[in-house]
Amino acid sequence: RYLKLILNNEIRSYVVTNVFTINVYDEYEAQVIRTDFNEDMSGNAEPRFYSEFITYMNTISKYDTKELLNTGDRTLTLITCLQHQPEYRQVIICKEVEDVLYD
């Protein structure tokens, strides 16, 4: 449910918000793997897009984590393949709950 990302001078703590499977050939579902959430993969920069996409991820999540993703959250996305199903990916979305800097 929780994980830590250890970097050179900080430790970021995350909580899992969503777990779901996507089809990489579905253009809408594949949007979860992009790195710029200011616009969708077709260049759509409408402000409502990201909030609609978060609602979609909250809807398709396989597990009730008791945690919801919001537009202001810093996120970490983990993606892995599914054995014998090359067109599908398992996706885990996490939101940052703490960021500790150290020397």
pLDDT digits (tens, 9 = 90+) for 8-63: 999 999 999 999 998 888 877 776 666 666 666 666 677 677 787 788 888 889 99
Say what the pLDDT of residue 70 is: 85
Q: Which one, of 10, 37, 26, 14, lies nearest residue 92 by Cα?
A: 14
Residues 47 and 39 sit within 8 Å (Cβ to Cβ): no
Sheet holding 2-6, edge to edge: 2-6, 10-23, 85-101, 75-82
Give the pairing type, strands 75-82 and 2-6.
unpaired
The pLDDT confidence band at residue 99, using thresholds 50, 70 and 90, is: very high
What predicted TM-score, i.e. pTM, was given to this entire model? 0.79
**DSSP at 79:** E
Q: Which one, of 6, 5, 26, lies nearest residue 15 by Cα?
A: 5
